[in-house]
Amino acid sequence: MKKTLNPLAIGLLSLAAAFATPDARADAVTDWNVKCGELITEAKLGTPPAVRVMALVQTAALQAVDAAQRQGVSAEAAVAAAHRVVLTKLMPTQQTAIDAAYQAALGRVPDSDARTHGVAAGEAAAQALLARRASDGAATPETYRPVTTPGAYVPTAPAAVPQWATRTPWLMVNAAQFRPAPPPALNSARWARDFDEVRDFGGKVSNRRTAEQTDVARFWDYSLPAIYHGVVQSVAQQPQRDLARNARLFAAVAQAMDDALIAVFDAKYHHLFWRPVTAIRNGDVDGNDATTRDASWVSLIDSPMHPEYPSGHSILAASVATVIDGETKGQPTTPLSTTSITGKGGKRQWQSTDAFVREVSDARIHGGIHFRSATDAAEAMGRRIGELAVKQVLQPSS
């Protein structure tokens, strides 16, 4: 009888093959970036903790490369060791897959003192970083309570990460450094325009949204690090790049993304603005004669369990785009692209970072979960955070 491999075995073989096949390999840092995205997805982490994991692991990789180069030892071994230490600490449920990836990666490095000392350098860099970031606030107890009165019904699903803004940023002075002005007043013309746009284009049933816009909205329903780091890999896999340069690029992106979520959750729970599904079903009580209630309106994409303003996806996209612009001087030499597990396995591609950011923001509106003001505000925040990453991380110190 023919034997078949179980899903775990198939996954481990694929993991090893990605590191063992020369044609598939760009450099150790990029290989590990791809693998981290897969491991994080498999671990089923929520977006904020997943982005934090990626920031820690990419920063550890950068520091491991720096240490290896100073010591004249194997940077590839240092990168592998740093990843194993951080991922084992933060995602113990993925231990078997982490170990398989580590052994495959280490097997590419000739057995020598340089490899042995490289492993030691990577482990030391990762352990030092974990110690420094151990009290970054990720474990702060959640104390948020919705505004209500005794006896009144409130949604029973808990709000998502209201404590995230208490975390220590990598780049910003504090979580509120780039907090935006409030969303439009409900009696304003801007509010009416935002309201109508989402009502018309973002409903589960819409005669205004095109089939492509629907597909793109579903593509961007996915928000884990892999979808954004896939865009960065478009740059990292270009010719003439090296391990050290890519280590700095991925660390800058990862820190910018982590700070972006710290900033966006600070703003969300400060402004506490309603989601389109709530606003549109209550369009008769917002004090604006230009808005019309639709009591049965439902968004195309399910609304996340946190306030609407500003947009998390838009701040992430803008921060990533700004770092890419800093790396490429605004002139990417290859189309940017990425894939999504919610996008029917397809690939999206852009000729510029502006087009990439614009698509992400449009997708959140066409998905029915954000207003245009929220995406505009988030893009501005993301650009400023990305600029910090360019200055503090992307440009190597002299």
| Structural domain harbouring 47 | 1-136
Mean pLDDT computed over 179-199:
99
Confidence of residue 396 (pLDDT cuts 50, 70, 90): low
Mean pLDDT, residues 353-358 taken together: 98
Q: How far apart are CA 257 and CA 394, in angstroms?
A: 14
The 10s digit of each residue's pLDDT in 81-110 is 999 999 999 999 999 999 999 999 999 999
For residue 158, count CB atoms less than 10 angstroms from its CB and return exposed for 0-12, middle for 13-18, buried for 19 or more.
exposed
User: Do 131 and 164 reside in the same domain of the chain?
Assistant: no
Give a yes or no: residue 260 inside a domain: yes
Q: Do 219 and 342 meet the contact criterion of CB atoms below 8 Å apart?
A: yes
pLDDT at 147 (0 to 100):
82
User: Are 112 and 170 in a shared domain?
Assistant: no
Question: Measuring CA to CA, how many Å separate 369 from each of 13, 35, 94, 317, 351?
Answer: 39, 30, 32, 16, 26
Q: State the average pLDDT over residues 40-69.
A: 98
Same domain, 222 and 361: yes
The answer to whether residue 147 sits within a structural domain is no
Torsion of CA 317, 318, 322, 328, to 10 degrees: 40
Number of domains the chain contains: 2
For residue 223, give the CATH number of its domain: 1.10.606.20
The answer to whether residue 32 scores a pLDDT higher than 90 is yes
127-133 mean pLDDT: 99
Is 151 inside a domain boundary? no
Q: pLDDT at position 148, please?
A: 81
The HSE-up count of residue 97 (CA atoms within 13 Å, CB side) is 24
Cα R_g (the chain), whole angstroms: 22
Residues 132, 164, single domain; the answer is no
| Residue 192 and residue 326 share a domain | yes
Spatial separation of the C-alpha atoms in residues 64 and 121, rounded to whole Å: 6
With beta carbons less than 8 A apart as the criterion, state whether 198 and 371 touch.
Answer: yes
Using the 3D structure, point to which of 136, 168, 185 is the last residue of a domain.
136
